[in-house]
Amino acid sequence: MADTLAAPFALRDARLIVGPGTGEEREFSSSVSHVMFEPRVAWAPAVGLNDVGGNYAVERVEWWLALEYPQDWAEAASLSLFLATHAGQKREMLFVPSQRFATHQVRTTVVLAPGPIGGDAGPLLTGIVAMPVVGWPDVEER
């Protein structure tokens, strides 16, 4: 059996675009330090004797998108203000993990949620927000 070589990379040249191709797209690539699509899996007791992996089966999967970003309440085009003023709206998002190395990108629709306001007195005020994904993220070739 041949080994599969991994090709990990950092998010240093990632892109995050809200509303791609709509004429109203907003790019927040330089505004985020953390982008993670997280599956939340609900398990249920398996029915039958031929279940795989024990006595449980996947009942449902919900996806969430978590973003971490520096809070900016002074710029009208900031991610902080964008999320606060568009909370509850559904928007398409495009995430490219690396412009140079990624062969795939993620396209999805999320329900925008406002992020936190304030926090610790430190050198940089950041915020983390988690937003529900509508359906599943679509991983597509670039």
CATH of the domain at 31: 2.30.110
Report whether pLDDT(46) > 90: no
Q: What is the pLDDT of residues 24-41, one digit of tens each?
A: 899 999 999 999 999 999
So what's the pLDDT on residue 38?
96
Rounded to 10 degrees, the C-alpha dihedral 6/7/12/17 comes to: -90
| Domain region containing 18 | 14-141
Do 42 and 60 meet the contact criterion of CB atoms below 8 Å apart? Answer: yes
Decide: residue 111, CB within 10 A, 0-12 exposed, 13-18 middle, 19+ buried. middle
So what's the pLDDT on residue 53?
58
Q: What is the pLDDT of residues 77-108, one digit of tens each?
A: 899 999 999 999 999 999 999 888 888 999 99
What is the domain count for the chain?
Answer: 1
6 within a domain of the structure (yes/no): no
So what's the pLDDT on residue 50?
59
